[in-house]
Amino acid sequence: MNERDRLIEILLDETSLAPASPNVEHDRRIALFDLKEANAFAVAGEDRGPYVLLLGMCEGRLVLDVSDETGARIVLHHAPLGGLRKLVKDYALICESYNAAIRDAPPSRIEALDMGRRGLHNEAAEVLQEILAGHFAIDTETARRLFTLVCALHVRG
């Protein structure tokens, strides 16, 4: 990847967003901020970066609408999410447990949930990279943050 293989703007399709709890909304904001700060994102067969990404959902598929910085569309890709559905559900459950544990659980329980949450997040990032392979090249940290946004499009608060 070269220095142009990056996202300069990440937008979420407002019509795709699920109603969010304060914790989900917080995670969404952090993922967007972190993605804007640092990411690696390339479109296969293109060298027109940096890119603008509009992320949404349509008929159960992840929609990646990628444009160049002038707004000219480069690619509109609909990615199947079959491999991520269970991970999204599991991640939502473990995040709920983690957020509940923060209030009154012993530190050992919080740490165990956090380790599980991070492991699941890493696994989901790998699956997302595989789903997008052939169309987009993304690094692990970008995949982790994009997975958080995928969850924001799915998870109901």
- Are 89 and 147 in contact by the 8 Å Cβ rule? The answer is no
pLDDT tens-digit profile of 78-112?
999 888 989 999 998 998 899 899 999 999 999 99
Residue 149 has pLDDT above 70, yes or no: yes
Give the distance, in angstroms, between the CA of residue 50 and the centroid of all CA atoms in the same chain: 18
Residue 25: what pLDDT? 83
Residue 117: what pLDDT? 92
> Cβ–Cβ contacts within 10 Å for residue 60, how many?
11
Q: How far apart are CA 48 and CA 51, in angstroms?
A: 7
pTM for the full model?
Answer: 0.90
